[in-house]
Structure 1
Amino acid sequence: MFRSMIAACFVVLALATPAVAAELVMLERPGCVWCAQFNAEIAPAYPKTEQGRRAPLRRVDVTQDWPADLDGIAPEPFTPTFILIENGKEIDRIRGYPGSEFFWYLLDELLAKLDRATAG
């Protein structure tokens, strides 16, 4: 009985939680000081934020092979670059790390573009 109640709770939670289709792809490279600054200032809190839940962070090392599932996304030599992707399509990108306050502002602008793109 108890197990079936727990299983039912998990089903309700799974149905109530929207599927994540968007992701924020971070292009990085070893030794990138701006990547390290992002990692120190933003990365620990990012998954705990509303933005992080809407667009989970995915890291791509630009010194490695480009992931096959990102073939439709143009690579970028500049790191860090943050690319907001929805269902395999680029919404927009942030080139560089502008500091903690401005990063959140720019990310919110990207997410607003995502809202507009998925509304129509």
Structure 2
Amino acid sequence: MRKLTDPQPTYTVPADIPNRDEDQPKEQTVSHIGHGRWPSIVFGAATLGAGIYNSEEVLSSPEPLRTVRLALRYGIRAFDTSAYYGTSEIVLGSILKAIADEFPRESYKIVGD
């Protein structure tokens, strides 16, 4: 985990993101439960942390954005992230900003430490 006074990592969303048939939901979407309309599945964003579950090479590809976008298209509306997940918060935030036209900020929740 970095101190706020340390240089912070950056993440640039790739310019050309495919939007093919496999980027569309194929079956029913995720149900939501409770008064807060939480999805029954939460996206664990540790996979977006460099050096934890993915390499810099994978994270610089279109796959992270396509994965987050498809999760949202399936109805997953909550993301679990943490400063302990390496660059996860930076990558997830950059991706969500890049797809804000399709999924505005009020359409999902972010949970973390």
User: Structures share a fold, TM > 0.5?
Assistant: no
- Shorter-chain TM-score range: under 0.3
Which structure ranks higher in relative contact order (CA pairs < 8 Å, sequence separation ≥ 6)? Answer: 2
Determine which structure has the larger strand proportion and give its number: 1
Determine which structure has the larger helix proportion and give its number: 1
- Mark the structure with the bigger radius of gyration: 1
Q: TM-score, normalised by structure 2?
A: 0.26
